[in-house]
Amino acid sequence: MKCTVCRGPAIIDLRRHNANFCGDHFLKFCRDQVAKAISQHDMIAPGQRVLVAVSGGKDSLALWDLLVELGYDVEGMTIGLGIGDYSDASTAASVAFAESRGLPLRRIDLRGDYGYDIPTAAAVTRRVPCSSCGTSKRHLIDSAALDGGFDVVATGHNLDDEAAVLLGNVLHWHTAYLGRQAPVLPGRDGFPRKVKPLVRLSERETAAYCVVRGIDYIVDECPMAEGNRHLRYKEALNSIEAASPGTKHAFYFEFLDKAADRFRPEAAEAQEGLRPCATCGSPTTADVCAFCRLVDRVSDADPVPVELLRAGRGRGGNASNRNKNRTKVNR
Ligand code: AMP
Ligand code: FES
Ligand code: ZN
Ligand code: ZN
């Protein structure tokens, strides 16, 4: 297999681009794809300060590295979610990357800073872990960006993520979500500007990028996400992609070109009536935002170890948590 550009030995074949690349030309390909996404969607203007949200996984570490390579002014931020060994390893990977490059990293720890972790929140609220996890991440990333005076927040969502989210939204006709699904969410009403510069790269490509660049990322996926719908949508798309390379790219980018605008009114309607949270000032459609309600509900609960939750006993909390939960809800 030869590199399409220099005819040297190739290390990767990219069927959707009908190309093979050697290490150097693959890195150039990744930088070019990110630069193209940034310019096509007007993601980041020269001189803007960027906060990159990092999980220690391949996508967000590749993103951080690529933004630095492209000359952007970037700081990292990472949230310790308290999901057992997985979160410890994820924070350690982010810290090791930042230290090895001398890059600034802001750290938040749910348990240390807010008195809860994701397994406990899932048990007390009796919702899937991804629900309290998403609420926590969104709020803390947004506030870190606004408090730190950043112009833009960048996240590591890649083509596989966006195509799987799109498939889920289409399968259930979540029209308001379809109207918000975009590589750029403009800053407004107390929300920071958010961008996804990896939308033109697949997760196989971000993993290969890290390997070629010598970036030590955490390989394990979140143990709480095992078997969830998002992963099933990814698998479905992967099997279609294997038979017809380029389908995932077409599905997502043709949606942006031809259909996304049609759902904007539904998205705008869902965001009507935003006002500042009475506790923290973040925009919300309720009196108190979802994050503050979550913290209020879970921050003094007995910690639930991740193993208990995974064993299926903790989803509704153990008996003492369940009772505590009831008391809190009734209050
Ligand atoms: P996920 O929601 O796990 O698919 O992650 C999507 C993106 O959110 C990642 O690419 C990161 O940019 C960001 N992210 C995920 N986990 C964390 C974390 N623990 N701390 C900071 N950012 C995160
Ligand atoms: Fe949020 Fe797994 S990373 S539940
Ligand atoms: Zn080459
Ligand atoms: Zn709030």
Dihedral of the alpha carbons of 124, 126, 129, 130, in degrees to the nearest 10: -130
Closest listed residue to residue 16, CA positions, set 258, 259, 256, 253: 253
| Chain centroid to CA 91 | 15
Count of the separate structural domains present in the chain: 1
pLDDT digits (tens, 9 = 90+) for 85-106: 999 999 999 999 999 999 999 9
Residue 144: CATH number of its domain? 3.40.50.620
Share of the chain above pLDDT 90, in %: 84
- Of all protein residues, the one whose alpha carbon is nearest to atom 3 of ligand 2 is 222
pTM flag (> 0.75): yes
pLDDT digits (tens, 9 = 90+) for 98-132: 999 999 999 999 999 999 999 999 999 999 899 99
Mean pLDDT of the chain: 92
Can you spell out the DSSP letters for 163-231? HHHHHHHHHTT-HHHHHH-SSEE--BTTBPEEE-TTTTS-HHHHHHHHHHHT-----SPPGGGTT-HHH
- How far apart CA 38 and CA 17 sit, in angstroms, is 19
133 lines ligand 2 (CB under 6 A): yes
Residue in 118, 161, 231 to alter for ligand 2 test, most ligand atoms within 8 A of Cβ: 118
207: in domain: yes
Q: Is the pLDDT of residue 134 over 80?
A: yes
Residue with tokens 């369940």: 322
- How far apart CA 120 and CA 300 sit, in angstroms, is 10
- How far apart CA 287 and CA 278 sit, in angstroms, is 6
Report pLDDT for 273: 87
Residue in 52, 55, 159 to alter for ligand 1 test, most ligand atoms within 8 A of Cβ: 55
Shortest-distance ligand to the CA of residue 25:
3
pLDDT digits (tens, 9 = 90+) for 150-200: 999 999 999 999 999 999 999 999 999 999 999 999 998 889 999 999 999
26: in domain: no
Share of the chain above pLDDT 70, in %: 93
130 lines ligand 2 (CB under 6 A): yes
64: in domain: yes
pLDDT digits (tens, 9 = 90+) for 201-251: 999 999 999 999 999 999 998 888 777 889 999 999 999 999 999 999 999
101: in domain: yes
Cβ 67 vs Cβ 50: under 8 Å: yes
pLDDT digits (tens, 9 = 90+) for 38-61: 999 999 999 999 999 999 999 999
121: in domain: yes
Q: Separation of 158 CA from ligand 4 center, angstroms?
A: 29
Which range (8-12, 145-149, 202-206, 318-322) has the least confidence?
318-322
For 46: left if phi > 0, alpha if psi spans -120 to 50, otherwise beta; the answer is: beta
- How far apart CA 326 and CA 131 sit, in angstroms, is 19
6: in domain: no
- Of all protein residues, the one whose alpha carbon is nearest to atom 4 of ligand 2 is 130
Domain that holds residue 153: 44-325
Shortest-distance ligand to the CA of residue 87:
1
271: in domain: yes
Which residues share a beta bridge with 53? 77
7: in domain: no
Residue with tokens 């406990």: 120
